[in-house]
Amino acid sequence: MVFNKWNGEERRVNKNILIPTTNYQLLMQTLNTDKNQTNIVPLFAIGTFGLHLFTLLLLMFHGGMLQQVKRKSVPQTLIQLKDGQVITADAKSSLERNQETIRRFVGEVMTLMFTWSPKQSSTVVWDVTSDLFRNDFKREFAQSFNSFELESPEQNVLVIQNISKPEVIADGKWKVNILAHRLIFTRGDSLGKSVPFNKQILVETKDEITPLPRFSTPLNLAVYRLGEARMQIYNICDIEDKNCATKK
């Protein structure tokens, strides 16, 4: 396209079109602006991509920091109620338990563990309730529990007469004496047989709760609720054993 001066005020675009000088200047400015904008768009796209990449890296960094804080954070601990029940809350863990909480824990664990029937076998009871034992003691006590099963393969009920006040052994550890009887029922013997069950139970605090299984039974739920006390049994001895507290 060729432009020629026309009377000092107009320029010819072609043979038949005249453009005033002012409009020509505006047209050229517009063309230059379009060129500038065209040059800016790639730079703007690169800058936006860089900003998004930086934001993504920042979020990943923060996510990693949060995971570290989560792993290092203090687990939930318990709130002890006057009636011996416990609930959990986010707070600093404690090595202290009130006496009623300890006595209730021992009594209910022993009752659950030594009560079975044809509808809920001793094998199922052991598999679930043994989660309230310390791992090393669980393996040790399994042999003793097998002997109880052989004595009462069909039905067994534990009847508790007395649970002593907890005796402090060390920080976060106690000894409780339990006086009870096992009622053993067999086929053809509806009256049952009573066998003394007088034991020393050693318990200690722990930091974590065993998770509740996805498909839970009433027994699973009962054991989970007891586990909220954040305690576990780590030894069981005969009532006459003078060295029970020093064995573990």
pLDDT of the residue at 50: 64
Q: Which SS3 state, helix, strand or coil, does residue 200 take? A: strand
Torsion sign across C-alpha atoms 223, 142, 178, 190: positive
In 3D space, the residue among 213, 216, 151 whose CA is nearest the CA of residue 184 turns out to be 151
In 3D space, the residue among 163, 156, 153, 150 whose CA is nearest the CA of residue 194 turns out to be 156
Per-position pLDDT tens, the chain of length 248:
444 444 444 444 444 444 455 555 554 555 555 555 555 656 656 666 666 666 666 666 656 655 565 555 555 666 777 667 776 665 555 788 999 999 999 999 999 999 999 889 999 999 999 999 999 999 899 988 988 888 888 899 999 999 999 999 999 999 999 999 999 988 777 778 899 999 999 999 998 888 888 889 999 999 999 999 999 999 999 999 988 988 66
pLDDT of the residue at 7: 43
CA dihedral 87, 88, 94, 100 (to 10 degrees): 10
Out of 3.30.365.10, 3.10.450.230, 2.60.40.1180, 3.90.1170.50, the CATH code matching 77-246 is: 3.10.450.230
Gyration radius of the chain's alpha carbons: 40
pLDDT of the residue at 111: 95
pLDDT of the residue at 51: 65
Domain boundaries, the chain: 4-63, 77-246
pLDDT of the residue at 186: 82
Give pTM, 2 decimals.
0.64
